[in-house]
Structure 1
């Protein structure tokens, strides 16, 4: 989650990385690296969740709690900014915009994709249980070819008439199913390499070295754009790095109550700092990365410092607001809504079984 925050510093802030300027080569190369680690963070975040979900029984409690938590922050931030602090929002909204097609003031692409993955979880698990090791590998390789190599090829080369990347079935949502299958493979099979701390550490270091090397090669607009296209969540190097890094830490014996306590606020960190209305305030009004564009080192250090500050503040807000003040309310709503959905499920299964 911390590297995702750093990525948002690079992506949303005032430094104009979209236009290559040789005066800011150092900052542009660092920016490219920060793009990579942010996408890496997304893949690892999904793999962590999928690793545990792929062998669990489905319950409506997970998606319902996630949706309620998202609504809590989205409405809470919007109401606070609009009616309490009287802030003039850069994106004005009417109540009709907020309530339709579903009640949420802010947009979160990750939440949409993750909720759909949670709802698809029981069916994905049926597929995983039905496949042997070789078949699961074949499925993963086919999806990597379709949604990684071919999609990136379309982005880089383009120009093919009447052809879009989603013609191959690729969206951020469907891509999460690929990460789900990868996580299931790691959990069920792994093998000597992924089960070795030594090999996964070497794989992680080599992958990150390649990322630094590729970022260093970005000396023109074309090269920058080509490398950036491969640094998305579905990039081969991003997928490979996420597998090695996740597997390395899976092989480590870590047992920390502090880490576990803080980890419980990571989703809250995302919902707070990536809120559609908070985001421009943080990265464009309070923090200006353009002040550090002259030096790659200064740009990196500023990104680390500001991102750490945002990260810590969001953790504190989540602990106080969601986990201490409103936890009981959210848990009670989750419990009662889950009961309703469980009864509907029982009725449907009883009728058609």
Structure 2
């Protein structure tokens, strides 16, 4: 599921950031739209998957330091390398590269770190009686997802408070689903997946062929992860993989382990124009008859290349940094502060 979600995200960025979306015509435009319009659905898939494992996991400062290290070790060096190679980089992106969390250089990582930091208090909410928890999820859903679905022109996605609210609601909702509904709901996984794909196809076709209100609605549903159609598509994919018995495959696990690093590397702000226009020469192929095939190839190459880089980091750099006495001391202090705060009764 991590691989599928990240390939959707890479394809979406490649299609939109390379200029292909603006120049592709005919069949290439359609293939590109189907491949590149699911990035925000994939954001929900990735978020739901992380929440599924987080809701029952005890807080550990090691998860915070690992995430911080992973982001900084990619964003800061890549930004400096791009600057040293002479590519034009706005000062804003240089600062965001050096301080990636403060500048939200990679927004999902910043939001996910925030979710990790206050997840222990959200975990306390999951200890509420089922009826109270269900009421909270329903009310929260009406105030967020249903509102932007019905009145989708009130665009709020990507604002900090919006992201934080949606990540928190996703955490509580996935926790409620895991604890109370996952054993009660029984649908055919292939049926659910096909319905999710059908809904996605309808949204893409509508955004491509219609004008006016229908075009705006379909485009908004694809772009805003809070909307009901977007969430249903993501839940369909999530439900399929939740019930799919794929066994264990070392090759798949090897690539899946680096999914988050793939996102960080190819979305470092200073690197975005370089990777598409310089590395993959997007201006030379976006208007060609084979642009859709090239889009598919580039998406897989980006994923594979970033995964190889990440495994080098995991093998040679991460263990040395995380086992540093100072880092270990900081982690113990954070764990102690959280243990004391969570043990207090207010």
Match of 1:336 in 2: 329
Determine if contact 1:63/1:118 at 8 Å carries over to the other structure.
yes
Q: Partners of 1:80 and 1:170 in 2: how far apart?
A: 32
- The answer to whether the Cα contact below 8 Å between 1:215 and 1:227 also exists between their aligned partners in 2 is yes
1:20-78 Cα shifts (integer Å, max 9, x gaps)? x9x83655544443444211211111111111110111122212210121111111212
**Residue of structure 1 equivalent to 2:9:** 4
Listed as ranges, the matches of 1:1-353 within 5 Å are: 1-17=6-22, 24=25, 26-83=27-84, 86-92=85-91, 107-132=105-130, 134-156=131-153, 165=156, 171-191=162-182, 194-196=185-187, 199-217=188-206, 218-222=208-212, 223-231=214-222, 232-253=224-245, 254-285=247-278, 286-288=280-282, 291-293=285-287, 298-320=290-312, 322-333=313-324, 334-345=327-338
Q: Report the 3-state secondary structure (helix = DSSP H, G, I; strand = E; otherwise coil) of the residue aligned with 2:126.
A: helix
Q: Note closer, same or farther for the CA distance 1:173–1:214 as it changes in structure 2 (3 Å cut).
A: same
Any unmatched runs of 5+ in structure 1?
159-163
> Which sections of structure 2, spanning at least 5 residues, go unmatched?
1-5
Give the Cα separation in 2 of the matches to 1:4 and 1:289.
21
The question of whether the paired residues in 2 share the 8 Å contact of 1:47 and 1:182 is answered with: no
Higher relative contact order (CA 8 A, sep 6+): 1
Question: Normalised by the size of structure 2, how large is the TM-score?
Answer: 0.83
TM-align CA RMSD = 3.2
Q: Is the 8 A contact 1:24 1:294 kept in 2?
A: no
Q: How many residues align?
A: 333
| TM-score w.r.t. length of structure 1 | 0.82
| More off after superposition, 104-113 vs 263-272 | 104-113
